[in-house]
């Protein structure tokens, strides 16, 4: 779960706007925006969790051939 930070931040921001801010801007409710952001953050986090679980646990072993990087010079 590498990319869990942004959804958690978005969810926290949405919850702060929903629960802590009591204001209205030109007919738009800040609480409604907070609920929408919180829901988007939760859905995003769930998608990240599903994607991280979808990666196969068992991977094939990678065969690496070790070839010499430098060849010996032929002396004539």
**How far is 37 from 44, CA to CA, in rounded Å?**
10
- The DSSP symbol for 39 reads H
**How far is 59 from 56, CA to CA, in rounded Å?**
7
**How far is 24 from 29, CA to CA, in rounded Å?**
5
The helix (run of H) or strand (run of E) holding residue 41 is helix 30-54
Give the per-residue pLDDT at 56: 63
Which pTM value belongs to this model? Answer: 0.66
Q: What angle do CA 37, 12, 8 make, to 5 degrees?
A: 90
pLDDT, tens digit, 9 for 90 and up, residues 15-46: 999 999 887 788 888 999 999 999 999 999 99
Domain range summary for the chain, segments of one domain joined by + = 5-54
């Amino acid at each position: 779960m590498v990319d869990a930070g942004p959804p958690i931040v978005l969810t926290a921001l949405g919850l702060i706007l929903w629960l802590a801010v009591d204001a209205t801007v030109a007919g738009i409710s800040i609480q409604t925006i907070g609920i929408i952001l919180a829901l988007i953050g939760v859905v995003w986090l769930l998608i990240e969790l599903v994607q991280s679980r979808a990666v196969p646990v068992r991977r094939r072993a990678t065969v690496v051939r070790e070839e010499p990087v430098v060849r010996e010079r032929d002396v004539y």
